[in-house]
Amino acid sequence: MERLECEFFLIRYVPDAVRGEFTNIGVLLREAGRPGDALIRFTRNWSRTECFGSDLDTEMLEGLETEIGERLREVGYEQRSMLDLLRDTMSNAVQITPVRACLAESLPAEMDQLMRMYVDPVRQAKTVRMSGRAALAGTMRREFERAGVWGMMRKRIAAAQYTRSGDPLKIDCGYRPNGTIRMFQAVSLKGDAEAAKVLAYSASRIRDGVERLEGAKLELTAIVEQVRSVGEDEDAIDRYRYGVGSMEEQGVRVLTTADLQRVAETAKRELRL
């Protein structure tokens, strides 16, 4: 199989430039000669970064990932160099390394490998193993990345802008292909159904806010585990069914991880019309 010639940059958090301490927090990867298909990904485990101080603004860093992706698409590579663009977008505490070369079977697969090598080492993953909602959200993100649309989507959408000030709920991601806004939320039904109840309670308020503020219909989708993953315990199965039923009663579309590839392919078609 012919491998792709690629280039990548490491993105680093450098809280004190004088001391020179840093930790890698992300990767930007592109195929050489085809920068328009660049992928960017930041870590979702900030434990190493938080060792530098308790005042770390993880929401700012996560928002930076979205901003960089948006500006890379909007500005275009012909108008400005990638390095100048990234340096203008990043804060003083976030820096980018010089470009490095690599060979890849595909951009998504190489991104996974680079993240394991430089950002989220295997030894860390073994001690901080994702489960529940985090695992669902990670699976959802990987499918959208494989379809090449993750960078085109809104992330961590604050429900407060549609409901009322102080609402802490944030929807994982979404996009607007036409007169309908599609939002997706990972909801784990292992253990209890509290997250399902929260989303069910919020669904109508978010829907009304979207229609009022953006003049669009909302399709809100919950991504849950497949029922067999909760085991054979009758109480666990009952909680699973209760959670699914609670969301569907409030107009939330419920899909499982088995549906994610199809969902991502639909997003690919709709966002690249």
User: What angle do helix axes 132-146 and 260-271 make, rounded to 10 degrees?
Assistant: 40
Whether pLDDT at 170 is above 70? yes
Residues 61 and 95: beta-carbon distance below 8 Å: no
Average pLDDT (110-127) is 75
Q: Is residue 75 very low, low, confident or very high in pLDDT (cuts 50, 70, 90)? A: low
Instruction: Calculate what percentage of the chain has a pLDDT beyond 90.
Output: 47
State which amino acid sits at residue 176.
Answer: R
Residue extent(s) of CATH 3.40.1350 domains in the chain: 132-271
Whether pLDDT at 76 is above 60? no
State which amino acid sits at residue 90.
Answer: M
Average pLDDT (162-179) is 92
Architecture of the structural domain at 132-271: 3-Layer(aba) Sandwich (3.40)
State the pLDDT at residue 243: 95
Instruction: Calculate what percentage of the chain has a pLDDT beyond 70.
Output: 84
Count how many Cα atoms sit within 13 Å of the Cα of residue 1 in the half-sphere of its side chain: 6
What's the first-to-final CA gap in the chain, in angstroms?
Answer: 30
Q: Report which DSSP code applies to 51.
A: T
Q: Report which DSSP code applies to 104.
A: E
Among residues 25, 40, 12, the alpha carbon closest in space to that of 152 is found at 40
State the pLDDT at residue 183: 97
Residues 217 and 210: beta-carbon distance below 8 Å: yes
